[in-house]
Chain A
Amino acid sequence: MTAKRVTRSLPFGLGLSLLLLCGAASAAHAGGALFDAAGALGANSARGYRQRIAAARRADARSFRVVARLRALLPTLAKQRRGRGVTVLLPLAALGASGRWAMADELFFSGAGQGTLDAVAWRGWRVSLLEAIGRLRRADMAPLLRAAVRHDDSDARVARAAVEALGRFGDPSDVDLLVNAATQRGRDAHQLLDALGDCRRSAMVTRLTKLLATPGHDTPARLSILKSLGRAGNAYAWRTSAVRKSGEEQAVRSAAAKALIDVYATTTDASERDRAATSVLVVGWSRTPQLIAAAKTRHPQQSESLDSLAKRFARSPVR
């Protein structure tokens, strides 16, 4: 049985969410999987994945054993955890690329389900699996992650992890899917919006900027969008090959910086200004001083505030 979230077509932040329980599980859908694979992927595609998983199990049984053992350890880890969640991301990531089939099987096909796991452990397990798969950026995982995003899990953190994981692939054709998943989330939209920035593409920054310009978003949502812009333009992320290969560094970072400075200069909300400033510094774009100078011209009444931002940028450790 799966739980699917349905939202009314209202601007996010204003819409109500209704939780519906779908009908009986399909025969191809194991109770613990994130979604019904045949339904989500199509029968042929699902069959193809099952075959590849079976082949991987023959070639790399170790990964499957390790995933199963990690799952069994979750109650202990949850009990020993420190903080607001359980994470097994790094152990899963240590499986490497060959481990993705075991993870995909657990999450999308044969997973054991929540069973006796408490809510924290269950969430942590699914989030960690999604994160670990997303980090690999392997093309054969993309259709599964797209299905995970469309599934729109009732747990906002799980839904967020799916958005973040797919976004990391950096495929511009996924931008609409990702943005819609976040904006149609209703009251929890802010939890997904801050994950959009992991899709570090110009098309995503354009959409994020448009979202900021669209009225009707509540403060948490706007703060998440500002955070996403920071993530998209993150100075250190752009030093890595997985992100640089798009060739869009200047387009993304300059657009993100400009959008953030514009909000900084125009918002009357202190928390938005703070978040925008933080994100400007995280982006650390080299032409930020010039962008700030231009903003001062457009918004002379904010000169003092923009000067303050410029000073902070000048001493930023991330530039």
Chain B
Amino acid sequence: MKQEKMENKAVKLPEDLSFAADYSCYNCKYMNGGSGSQIYCEYYRGYYDPGYCDHFISKY
């Protein structure tokens, strides 16, 4: 895999870079429900993987 970068310039991380296990559904406004890889969807009242709940909308 080729990785391009700007010539003669080191990669620089953005100042506000941060990572969070935030799987909130923006639709439900429900925060980090569930366990493992699933979230709880208040709309459907069930546990879903974020990629499979069609009600799930990320806020990012």
Asked if A and B are interacting partners, one says: no
Which residues of A come within 8 Å of B, CB atoms?
none
